Structure 1
Amino acid sequence: MAARIRDQIMSGHLDPGSKLPSTQQLMDEYGVVGTTVQKALQLLKAEGIVVGRSGKGVFVREEPNHVIAPASSMPPSAHGRPIEATVMTKAGHLYEMEYRLPVG
C-alpha cells in the first residue's frame, strides 16, 4: 500500500500539497484494516514524502526532498578508487540509488 501511494506521488499523479484519502477511504480502496493504513502512512511520513496535519489529514509534502549525491561525500574505496553512484529521481523524489565499487 505504501509503495503504491509512493508511486502515485513520484509519478506526479498526486501533486505536492494534495490531501490523501481518509483512513476509511484507504481501507476501502486497498481492502485492509485501519492499522495497516496507519503503518503505511507512518512509513511515508518517516520517509518525508507526506506530512500529517493535526485535525486536517495527511498531505503530500509541498517542498521537494533534497537529493545529495552520496559519491560526493563518501570516502574512497579500499584501493583508492572512487565509489560510483547513480541517483535517480522522479518528480523531485529519490526512487533509486545504486552504488558500484570498481573491480580490480
Structure 2
Amino acid sequence: MVEEQSTGWTGGRDAFGDFAPGMVHYTDKVLFDEVWERDGLSKRDRSLATVAALTALGKTDQLRFHLAFARQNGVTDDELKETLLHLAFYAGWPNGMAATTVLKGVIENED
C-alpha cells in the first residue's frame, strides 16, 4: 500500500471547493502531491515541460498559473521569454504570441 504524502497543495480545493470533488482530488492529491513530487525530473524541468505543453495547446488560462509557478520553481523571466520564442516556431506563432502576452501580464502584475 502506498502511503499518501501531502504537500499541502490546495489549488483544486481553492478552485472548486465541494463543486467537483473528483477534480479536487486528482488535482491536489494525484497531480501535485504525486506527479510533481516524483524524483525523475526537477520541479524546474517539470515547469518547462508544462509551459511547453500548455503553449502548444493554446491553454492560456492554465498557462497563467504555470508561468508564475515556473518562476517559483527557479525558471528566470529571460528563460521563459526564450522558451516561448523557441516554442513559437514549433507550436505556432499565434500560440507563442498569446503565451508571451500571458507572461508579460504575469511579470507586470508581480512588479
TM-score with structure 1 setting the length: 0.33
Tell me: higher relative CO, structure 1 or 2? Use CA pairs within 8 A at least 6 residues apart.
1
Larger fraction in strand? 1
TM-score with structure 2 setting the length: 0.31
Structure having the higher Rg: 1
Larger fraction in helix? 2
